[in-house]
Amino acid sequence: MIEPVGLLAQLPSSTVYIQPFKLLAILLVFTLWAVFAQWVDKDTVAVNTFRTLWNLITMAVGAVGILAALLVPLFVVGLLVFLVAQIALMVVYIVHRNGLVPEADRVFTATHFRRLREEGFRGKKKVKEVKERVRLTAANRKVVPIPEEDEAREQYRLTQDLFFDALWRRATNVEVVPAGQVAKITYLIDGVPAEREPLTRAEGEAVVLFLKTIAGLNLEERRKPQRGQITAAVGDNKHKVFVRTDGSTAGEKLSLRVLYNEESLKAPDLGFNPKQLEQVQAVKEQTHGLVLVSAPSGAGLTTTVYSLTRTHDRFLMNVQTIEYEKELDLDNVTQKIFTPAPGKTFAEELQRLVRADPDVIVLPELREPQAGVIACQAAANKQKVYVGLVALDVFDALQKWLQFVGDKALVARSLAAVSNQRLVRVLCRECKQAYKPDPQMMRKLNLPADKTLYRPPEPTYDKHGNPIVCQACQGTGYVGRTAVFDWLVVDEPLREVIRRSSSIADIQNHVLKSGAAGLQAQALQKVLDGTTSIQEVVRALRGGPAAGTPRAAAKPTPAPRPKPRPASGAPGATEGR
């Protein structure tokens, strides 16, 4: 039996159970790991690499090292394991990140150590590191490099963020508008405005300044409108971007218009149904006649006029245009720009063009009634003429054209066809949902009551309450737009009605009696085939006159000037004026 006094004698004389120098050694290595882990977390963002993956690797190395230092029987071996693992991690990450950045931004190189010796460890304060995500080509056709100067580098970074986000969301228009201490940013996506998180006022001004510089605009001019053009590319997808700046009382506003596939669209790409496409082809084959292309403002008028022009063989035919403002370039087409001046009229320019005897004449916009008379005369005799006109439907277009020209007999003799259109968004193929609509509503619309329709999906959320966003449509439920057309062929009976009509109602009654479907019926057909939704058709047709409603005669007024609008980038979409 051991006496109590003997037990007390066996207790250690000191209450410290950990050797201080071992604890200090572990803390030093742990501090090195913690500093490196913090730097990795920030640096992965700066060099645009896999932040989450590298953070997990760093945490795993730290955990394994701590366990080795504490649990390996031989302390020196455990500490060396921790230290070697940490050094190996540092070497691997530094080699990886140095391969992603220019030589001047690499670390632990001869250049880096020389810079540290010259500038000290704090060095010169730098703007955030940036990486080219969108390849920008300036107005001088040179690729814009990442600037070296801090201020320009920050401007470049902000512009890159804006373009990458806008192109990912398929925005056709981007507006940066100063508003107090912020710069509001609005996208136009498939014809619907969408606001994104604003920039600070200083950041907005930096983006405007940078884009004015690469677009070749006057940096000192901040009040008068200026226009330029650049190119933005992500991978192999290149987009022309029209840059416009305007002065206002709040500051300088920036507008960007992004082109997607508008410069290659032809009639089959626009949204005509098969029967209409046959009629378009038949009218195109005629040697003469006037096609009146109409749409409300912002419903794709200019894009349709240009697309119908491309449908002709521009290698074998002489195709020419006269425009007040060129929206797009037409390959193998002579595009003449008319600039109003004293003693110079559009009608005179058009008359000279007619005498040159081209096969096809395209007039996206007319402002002078005399020019309308000349266009009709040319179409009645020997040339194909396309004329763009802002109107709510084919009857509104006919009424305005009759008033504009002032000669019913000439209009009747020259007209080959009249069109009108609306733009509807196309349902996303990846996430659209089928549903059974209300039978009573279907009967009111003269649609099959048992038909399955489609609509955008209901919002869904993950287990953390975050919304699940479709990557194909970015959560909008739609991708791109297509046109709904009312295409009216002018045959001999209709010509006779136009000549003898006392009002537009006479023409409208004749057309309706002949069984014309109208815009609403054409739009609902796109609902039945799953292209779009009933809600989208209601939105697109809202504000126009109901089909079959006779019009009251209006006083003669010149045709309104179409307003330039953006063009959609989705395949088959038509947008523009």
Identify whether 434 is part of a domain: no
Whether the per-residue pLDDT at 562 is higher than 50: the answer is no
Say if residue 575's pLDDT is above 50: no
pLDDT tens readout for residues 503-557: 899 888 998 888 777 888 899 999 988 999 999 999 988 854 433 333 433 333 3
What is the per-residue pLDDT for 128?
59
Q: What does the CA dihedral 87, 93, 96, 98 come to, rounded to 10 degrees?
A: -80
Least confident of 34-38, 280-284, 420-424: 34-38
Q: How far apart are CA 124 and CA 92, in angstroms?
A: 27
Instruction: Classify residue 451: in a domain, yes or no.
Output: no
Cα–Cα distance, 281 to 353 (Å, whole number): 25
* 280 plus 415 within the same structural domain: yes
pLDDT at 420: 94
Domain boundary among 53, 88, 119: 119
Instruction: Give yes or no: residues 153 and 228 share one domain.
Output: yes
Q: Is 437 exposed, middle or buried (0-12, 13-18, 19+ CB in 10 A)?
A: middle
pLDDT tens digits for range 205-231: 899 999 999 999 998 888 899 999 999
pLDDT of residue 10: 56
For 55, phi then psi, to 5°, come to: -65, -40
Domain boundary among 239, 258, 277: 258
pLDDT digits (tens, 9 = 90+) for 165-202: 999 999 999 999 998 888 999 999 998 999 999 998 88
pLDDT on residue 13:
54
What pLDDT is attached to residue 392?
92
In a domain, 74, yes or no: yes
Residue 560 confidence (pLDDT): 35
Using an 8 Å Cβ cutoff, are 65 and 43 in contact?
A: no
In a domain, 149, yes or no: yes
CA distance 506 to 228: 48
Residues 87/108, Cβ–Cβ less than 8 Å? no
Q: Which domain holds residue 51?
A: 20-119
404 three-class SS = helix
243 alpha carbon, distance to own chain's centre: 14
Q: Which ranges of 322-368 would DSSP assign to H, the alpha helix?
A: 346-355
Cβ neighbours, 10 Å, residue 140: 10
Report pLDDT for 550.
37
Q: Which of 70, 91, 119 lies at the terminal end of a domain, its last residue?
A: 119
**Tell me, what's the pLDDT at 5?**
53
The tokens for 45 are 């963002």
C-beta neighbour count of 468 within 10 angstroms = 11
How many Å apart are CA 568 and CA 260, to the nearest integer? 7
| Predicted confidence (pLDDT) at residue 375 exceeds the cutoff of 90 | yes
Nearest to 303 by CA among 483, 99, 159: 483
The reply to whether 251 and 279 lie within a common domain is no
The pLDDT score that the predictor gives to residue 543 is: 53
Q: What CATH number is attached to the domain comprising 228?
A: 3.30.450.90
Task: Look up residue 421 and give its amino acid.
Answer: Q
Q: Which residues pair with 202 in a beta bridge?
A: none
Do 106 and 154 lie in one domain? The reply is: no
**Which residues have C-beta within 8 Å of that of residue 123, sequence separation ≥ 6?**
115, 116
- CB burial readout 443-466, b (16+ within 10 A) else e: eebebeeeeebbbbbeeeeeeeee
Most confident of 39-43, 189-193, 247-251, 513-517: 189-193
Contact 450, 434 (CB under 8 A): no
pLDDT for 189: 92
- CB–CB of 336/321 below 8 Å? yes
456 within some domain: no
CA distance 94 to 98: 6
E strands present in 119-219: 135-137, 173-179, 182-189, 192-200
CB atoms within 10 A of CB 490: 23
Q: Which residue has the tokens 């993956």?
A: 53
pLDDT confidence of residue 42: 80
- Under the banding of pLDDT at 50, 70 and 90, the label for residue 26 is confident
Q: What angle do CA 73, 77, 81 make, to 5 degrees?
A: 120
Q: Closest by alpha carbon to 240, among 213, 261, 255?
A: 261
15 within domain boundaries:
no
What's the distance, CA 523 to chain centroid? 24
291, 381: one domain: yes
Q: Over the chain, what is the mean pLDDT?
A: 83
Same domain, 191 and 114: no
The whole-angstrom separation of Cα 39 and Cα 432 is 44
- Which residues partner with 153 through β-bridges? none
Same domain, 108 and 161: no
What local confidence, expressed as pLDDT, does residue 121 receive? 52
CA pair distance 207, 232, nearest whole angstrom: 15
- Say yes or no to pLDDT of 452 above 90: no
Q: Best-predicted range by mean pLDDT among 99-108, 413-422, 452-461, 467-476? A: 413-422
Instruction: Write down the pLDDT at residue 82.
Output: 78
Task: Verify that 382 and 311 share a domain, yes or no.
Answer: yes
DSSP string, 437-483: --HHHHHHTT--TT--EEEPPPP-B-TTS-B---TTTTTSSEEEEEE
In a domain, 206, yes or no: yes
Average pLDDT over residues 132-143: 92
Does one domain contain both 299 and 416? Answer: yes
Determine which of 108-112, 362-366, 455-459 has the lowest per-residue pLDDT on average: 108-112
- Whole-number Å distance between alpha carbons of 152 and 213: 10
At 120 the pLDDT is 58
CB 418 within 8 A of CB 398: yes
Q: Among 45-59, 178-192, 312-326, 447-461, which is the least confidently predicted range?
A: 45-59
Same domain, 235 and 294: no
What is the pLDDT, as a whole number, of residue 546? 38
- Nearest to residue 575, comparing CAs of 242, 323, 260, 365? 260
Burial class (CB in 10 A: 0-12, 13-18, 19+), 423: buried
Query: What DSSP state is assigned to residue 243?
Result: E
* Same domain as 419, residue 330: yes
Whether residues 70 and 216 fall in one domain = no
User: Quick check: is 28 in a domain?
Assistant: yes
**For position 569, what pLDDT does the model report?**
35
Instruction: Place 60 in a pLDDT band, splitting at 50, 70 and 90.
Output: confident
Domains held by the chain: number: 3
Q: Which two tokens stand for residue 479?
A: 């991708």
Q: Where are the alpha helices (DSSP H) in 101-149?
A: 110-119
Q: Does position 81 have pLDDT exceeding 90, yes or no?
A: no
Q: Are 65 and 29 in contact (CB under 8 A)?
A: yes
